[in-house]
């Protein structure tokens, strides 16, 4: 945090002096003609600036961003609720907007102070946050809308990581953020049966009866943070499956690989293959399952024989899948649809056949997550998305049908934040990741990333 502060401040000043003002400027002189390095950076910065308008417009007075906003009709429809993952992406977006010069450091700090005021007073369990809150007053959403209060481990993992970033990025409020992280206790979620991550806790009925069984999915942020905090042993990292073994005949591919032993734990390092590209699958084949953790974790830098390599190969498969179907755009991940919400992914990238739908609904956040792995392909994809009319008043709409061109005129805090965070990392040499890894939470598990070798 401290040694890079002057450099980051100078960069912010430069970005403010050169940044574009919105998508009209961005696509008028940016994406459509972004032939130089500076043009490409300005194009992405303009997109980030436009995406942050969502948080400026739809974050409440207590600092909670709205989960989903539907602008497809004559009136704007808002959900008025939020989750720990949404809050995490608001933090990531605010820090990223500050790093890019989209907002001032003063504004970023004030926004985050307001958020911390709220997080310090809302109801929690073991210091962990409930799945849903009312954005107007911070009350538990379940209280007024039926159902029980629930603590989701995957959602809290994202918020722990984001609060850790605040703790390093802003010394003035860092202690408050770090205190919230210190209060979080993940130890009850370490399964005594299989060592995996228990899915959550219902305040009425207790711990969930299931665990997250695959490492290549977004819950690995929670696992990483739990190890980093000292709430779980490092052996926890090796317990989820990389792939299921060849004897598990229910999977859609029979994995190839070999057994390895880490910290006394036998791990089957298996892989799948698509058109000659080898990769470790996720549960369903969605882009965010594989790449969302890299918003925080230095997988590309530290996992050169593991997650970094896998993330690169994963993007190649996503692109190939769309090209084989002659789609003008690519990127499959869960997203909004005109009549609801869809769970999309490349089926062959999932262990469970048919779990996620293989398109043709494409979402921009899936593309932005790939920026560090295929920047030129992402730039071309963004241009094609623009030509299909994806931009709206508050950034890109959530999805477009690659076959029909039908747009989903909705905004999701999670997806807007993923996109902005990925852009910010790409343009700042991974500033958000750097902040995370400057902390003990980020540093302690690093050797786990370095040691693992996938068979891809």
What is the length of the chain?
Answer: 456
* Whether pLDDT at 170 is above 70: yes
Residue 456 domain-assigned (yes or no): no
| Three-class HEC string of 244-294 | CCCCCCCCCCCCEEEEEEECCEEEEEEEEEECCEEECCECCCCHHHHHHHH
Residue 266 domain-assigned (yes or no): yes
Structural domain span for residue 215: 5-451
d(CA 381, CA 330): 7
Structure tokens at 380: 């071309």
Provide the pLDDT for residue 142. Answer: 81
Provide the pLDDT for residue 40. Answer: 73
Residue 286 domain-assigned (yes or no): yes
DSSP 313-348: HHHHHHHHHHHHTT-S-----SEEETTEEE-B--GG
CATH number of domain containing 170: 1.50.10.140
Provide the pLDDT for residue 355. Answer: 81
Q: Model pTM? A: 0.93
Provide the pLDDT for residue 36. Answer: 64
Structure tokens at 60: 């409440």
- Rounded to the nearest integer, the mean pLDDT of the chain is 92
* Whether pLDDT at 17 is above 90: no
Asked if the bond preceding 360 is cis, omega within 30° of 0, the reply is yes
Task: Using alpha carbons, select from 237, 230, 313 the residue that is nearest to residue 277.
Answer: 313
Task: Using alpha carbons, select from 290, 283, 285 the residue that is nearest to residue 306.
Answer: 290
Provide the pLDDT for residue 352. Answer: 86
d(CA 327, CA 358): 12
The pLDDT of 55-80, averaged and rounded, is 98
Rounded to 5°, angle at Cα 384 from 366 and 311: 30
Residue 420 domain-assigned (yes or no): yes
* Whether pLDDT at 30 is above 50: no
Structure tokens at 399: 């999805």
Provide the pLDDT for residue 190. Answer: 98
Question: With pLDDT > 90 as the criterion, what percentage of the chain qualifies?
Answer: 88
Residue 12 domain-assigned (yes or no): yes
Task: Count CA atoms within 13 Å of residue 433 on its CB side.
Answer: 22
Provide the pLDDT for residue 144. Answer: 67
d(CA 129, CA 188): 14
Residue 149 domain-assigned (yes or no): yes
Count of structural domains, the chain: 1
């Amino acid at each position: 945090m401290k040694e890079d502060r002057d450099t980051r401040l100078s960069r912010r000043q430069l970005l403010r002096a050169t940044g574009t003002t919105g998508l009209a400027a961005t696509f008028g002189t940016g994406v459509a003609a972004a032939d130089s390095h500076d043009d490409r950076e300005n194009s992405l910065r303009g997109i980030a600036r436009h995406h942050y308008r969502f948080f400026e417009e739809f974050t409440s007075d207590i600092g909670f961003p709205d989960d989903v906003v539907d602008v497809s009709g004559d009136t704007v429809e808002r959900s008025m609720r939020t989750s720990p993952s949404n809050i995490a992406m608001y933090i990531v977006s605010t820090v990223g907007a500050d790093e890019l010069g989209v907002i001032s450091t003063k504004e970023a700090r004030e926004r985050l102070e307001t958020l911390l005021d709220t997080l310090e007073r809302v109801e929690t369990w073991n210091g962990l946050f409930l799945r849903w809150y009312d954005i107007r007053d911070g009350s538990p959403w379940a209280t007024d809308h039926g159902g029980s209060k629930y603590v989701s481990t995957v959602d809290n993992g994202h918020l722990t990581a984001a609060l850790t970033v605040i703790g390093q990025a802003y010394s003035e409020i860092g202690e408050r953020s770090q205190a919230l992280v210190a209060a979080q206790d993940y130890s009850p979620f370490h399964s005594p049966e299989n060592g995996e991550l228990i899915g959550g806790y219902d305040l009425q009925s207790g711990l969930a009866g299931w665990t997250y069984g695959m490492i290549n999915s977004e819950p690995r942020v929670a696992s990483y943070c739990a190890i980093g905090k000292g709430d779980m042993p490092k052996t926890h990292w090796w317990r989820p499956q990389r792939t299921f073994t060849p004897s598990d005949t229910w999977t859609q591919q029979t994995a190839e690989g070999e057994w390895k032993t880490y910290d006394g734990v036998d791990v089957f390092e298996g892989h799948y293959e698509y058109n000659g590209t080898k990769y470790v699958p996720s549960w369903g084949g969605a882009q965010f399952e594989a790449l969302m953790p890299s918003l925080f974790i230095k997988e590309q830098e530290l996992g050169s024989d593991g997650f970094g390599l896998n993330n690169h190969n994963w993007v190649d498969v996503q692109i190939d899948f769309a090209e084989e179907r002659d789609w003008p755009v690519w990127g499959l991940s869960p997203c909004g649809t005109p009549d609801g919400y869809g769970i999309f992914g490349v089926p062959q990238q999932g262990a469970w056949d048919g779990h996620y739908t293989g398109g043709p609904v494409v979402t921009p956040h899936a593309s932005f997550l790939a920026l560090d792995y295929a920047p030129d392909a992402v730039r071309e994809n963004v241009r094609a998305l623009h030509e299909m009319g994806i931009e709206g008043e508050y950034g890109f709409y959530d999805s477009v049908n690659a076959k029909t061109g039908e747009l989903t005129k909705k905004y999701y805090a999670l997806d807007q934040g993923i996109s902005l965070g990925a852009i910010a990392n790409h343009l700042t040499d991974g500033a958000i990741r750097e902040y995370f890894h400057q902390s003990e939470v980020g540093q302690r598990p690093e050797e786990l990333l370095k040691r693992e070798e996938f068979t891809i």
